[in-house]
Amino acid sequence: MDSKKALLIVNPCAGRTNKRLGALEIVKKFSPPEWETEIRTTRCQGDATTIVKDEGAKYDVILCCGGDGTLNEVINGLMKLDKKIPVGYIPSGSTNDLANTLGIPTELGASADLIQSGKKNSYDLGTLNGRYFTYIASFGIATDLSYSTPQKLKNIFGHAAYMINGFVVRFIPMLFGFKPIHMKIEYDEGVIEDDFYFGSISNSTSVAGLFKFDHQDVKLNDGYLELFMVKGLKRNIDALKMLKKAIAQDYDGVQMMIVKTKKVKITCNQDVPWTLDGEFGGLQRDCEIEVVHDAFEIFSENNKLFYPKD
């Protein structure tokens, strides 16, 4: 049997130090005679995209060892290739939100074993003005926490770093002082124009660790994205009511709304900072967002978030 050729992208800055040391275990698992693996280490932002775009076509599998931001770069490189190559995600970031959604183990050896099992699912992507995102594009209050939290803090404390930097230091004061953003939002079944406190377009069962969505409604390969919006708050008491409703998953369409859509057009009269998969996505006024159905295959267990293959 011919060995499989794999390209392993490693982000040495992602996640906790003890996980980075586990990269040696990964190399051992993807070694001859079953595998021929070449390793590339990222040195700066955008490296993973360039490496995959320039070299990826030569391989049977692309492996990503890093956080959600590294995977985002890998996917943006992958989508520039003329052929579909399955992706193996070996999560070693601080929060690993996408891995948790997909059911990919965060223990390096276990995630490598899952890849070697050959189980994989087709996955939908989103694009924002031509740039791909794997699970979320968002704007509004505290959406910069993932990329503004110091890397050293994230490496030491993991997900707790976002809580320290976000809810303790910044989110609570911002909750009562954030100025809503006026936007016109056009989606498949309607148009809404209002002041918004927060918004996201996602392919995930949770947003920002606070807003949870029903697993029955979200499918990762159904050809739809979830548009979620939180309208501007007029009084401090409204913020507390909103948090209570979020915990109860009570999205009544008044303060918070969620709809499924294939396309979204957002128009705004000011530059708005966006976050894509936890990384800065640039300042945008007008946004064209749409789903890319069955964009690529990712090694993962079959679960209720995926429609079964034909």
Q: What is the DSSP string of 255-273?
A: SEEEEEESEEEEEESS-EE
Q: List pLDDT tens digits, range 267-295.
A: 999 999 999 988 889 999 999 999 999 99
Q: What distances in angstroms separate CA 141 from CA 50, 145, 178, 267, 275, one per listed residue?
A: 31, 9, 7, 18, 11
Instruction: Give the active site residues.
Output: 279
Rounded CA-CA distance 195/180 in Å is 5
Domains of the chain in sequence order: 4-118 (3.40.50.10330), 133-141+178-293 (2.60.200.40)
pLDDT top residue among 112 and 160: 112
Q: Report percent pLDDT > 70 for the chain.
A: 78
pTM for the structure as a whole: 0.84
Provide the pLDDT for residue 77. 98
Residue 114 contacts residue 299 (beta carbons within 8 Å): yes
Could you give the 3-state DSSP secondary structure of residue 291? strand
Provide the pLDDT for residue 1. 60
pLDDT top residue among 175 and 294: 294
Residue 102 contacts residue 298 (beta carbons within 8 Å): yes
Average pLDDT over residues 73-98: 91
**Among candidate residues 11, 18, 217, 223, the one with its CA nearest the CA of residue 107:** 18
Average pLDDT over residues 58-83: 95
84-88, 198-202, 246-250 — most confident range: 84-88
70: left (phi over 0), alpha (psi -120 to 50) or beta: alpha
